[in-house]
């Protein structure tokens, strides 16, 4: 009776990818925001060579977090505006499958923006960010962000204030990601020995897993009425 989990996940992802290729409502907005943010930071902080090494990983992650907020909001609003969340819930599919599908879509879109930022920042700030470890840190950090972002956006689009509440709900809870991701990125950028930043990277992965498990357990309670 029940549609297999994996089929539902791929259906949701391919639906989101197709809609995004059509309308480009997510990636383009996030990318434009990221670009503006990078420029604003470089003017505001007057990043010189010394300050850069310290500040660049912070700039990268703050920009990513705010850009991802835009994306998560938009992605869940698309489900909410025409009542589509109801349509998903009407189908004989596991609620966690819907969550995983939306999560992976959000992950892919945000990762695209995150990856595009690396060469751009390399050019703008004269520091080489094109490093395998940085890409890995980005992937793990963005996955963690997308996990709680997808859950919380599902919640906040159902509230009166809609989009306005997501930053307030997400930022404090996302802080553990920000803390560890900035730390790992900073260590990698500064050329510190791996032993100094691999702990932070491991912590980042561990927190992502903890949140993923929590979200998988809790998702059905925020979509069931």
Partner 1 sequence: MGGKTKSTTLDLRMETSPQPRLLRILTVFTILGFAGTLVLGFAVAGTDIQQGEIQRIFYIHMPSFFGAFTAFGLTVVGGIIYLARKSETWDRIALAGVEVGLAFSLINLLTGSIWARPIWNTWWTWDPRLTSAAIMCLTYAAYLMLRAGIDDPGKRRAFMSVYGILAFVTVLITLFIIRIVPETIHPVIVGASPQNAQGGFEATSGVVIALLPSLLLWLTLMPITIMWHRVRLEARIEALNLLKLQALSE
Partner 2 sequence: MPDDSAIIIAEGLSKAYGGLPALRSLNFRVRRGEFVALLGANGSGKSTLLRLLSGLSKPTAGAIRIGGWEMPREAMAVRAQIGLVAHQPLLYENLTARENLEFFGKLYGIGIDERERRIAEALRTAGLSKGAGSLVRAFSRGMKQRLSIARATLHQPDVLLLDEPYSGLDQAAIERLDELLSAATEDGRTIIMSTHQLERIPRPARRALVLARGRIAFDDAIGRRNMSEIYRSSNA
Q: Using CB under 8 A, list all residues that contact partner 1.
A: 148, 151-152, 155-156, 158-161, 165, 168-169, 172-173, 175-176, 179-180, 183, 200, 203, 207, 210-211, 214, 218, 221-222, 224-225
For residues 152 and 165, give the distance between their C-alpha atoms in angstroms, rounded to a whole number: 9
Nearer to partner 2, 15 or 162 (CB): 15
Interface segment toward partner 2; rule CB under 8 A; list 18-26, 114-122, 148-156, 173-181: 18-26
Tell me if 56 contacts partner 2 by CB under 8 A: no
Choosing from 57, 68, 78, 180, the residue that interacts with partner 2 (CB under 8 A) is: 78
Q: Shortest approach of partner 1 to residue 161 CB, angstroms? A: 5
Tell me if 159 contacts partner 2 by CB under 8 A: no
- Asked if residues 174 and 110 have their Cβ atoms less than 8 Å apart, the reply is no
Q: Shortest approach of partner 2 to residue 67 CB, angstroms? A: 20
Q: How far is CA 89 from its chain centroid?
A: 24
For residues 181 and 167, give the distance between their C-alpha atoms in angstroms, rounded to a whole number: 19
Interface segment toward partner 2; rule CB under 8 A; list 27-35, 89-97, 149-157, 190-198: 89-97
Q: List, in order, residues 6 or more apart from 168 with CB less than 8 Å away.
A: none
Tell me if 8 contacts partner 2 by CB under 8 A: yes
CB atoms within 10 A of CB 95: 17
For residues 30 and 51, give the distance between their C-alpha atoms in angstroms, rounded to a whole number: 26
Burial class (CB in 10 A: 0-12, 13-18, 19+), 110: buried
For residues 154 and 78, give the distance between their C-alpha atoms in angstroms, rounded to a whole number: 11
Nearer to partner 1, 38 or 152 (CB): 152
Q: Shortest approach of partner 2 to residue 70 CB, angstroms? A: 17
């Amino acid at each position: 009776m029940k549609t297999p989990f994996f089929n539902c996940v791929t259906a949701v992802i391919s639906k989101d990818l197709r809609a995004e290729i059509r309308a480009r409502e997510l990636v383009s907005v996030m990318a434009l925001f990221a670009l503006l943010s990078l420029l604003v930071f470089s003017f505001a902080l007057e990043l010189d060579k010394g300050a850069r090494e310290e500040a660049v990983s912070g700039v990268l992650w703050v920009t990513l977090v705010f850009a991802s907020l835009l994306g998560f909001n938009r992605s869940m609003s698309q489900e909410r505006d025409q009542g589509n969340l109801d349509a998903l819930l009407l189908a004989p599919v596991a609620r966690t499958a819907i969550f995983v599908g939306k999560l992976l879509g959000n992950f892919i879109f945000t990762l695209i923006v995150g990856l595009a930022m690396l060469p751009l920042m390399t050019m703008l700030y004269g520091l080489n960010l094109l490093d395998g470890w940085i890409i890995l840190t980005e992937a793990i950090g963005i996955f963690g962000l997308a996990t709680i972002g997808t859950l919380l956006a599902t919640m906040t689009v159902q509230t009166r204030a809609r989009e306005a509440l997501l930053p307030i709900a997400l930022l404090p809870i996302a802080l553990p990601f920000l803390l560890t991701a900035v730390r790992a990125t900073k260590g990698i950028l500064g050329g510190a020995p791996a032993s100094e930043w691999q702990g932070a990277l491991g912590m980042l992965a561990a927190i992502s897993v903890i949140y993923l498990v929590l979200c998988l357990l809790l998702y059905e309670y925020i979509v069931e009425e």
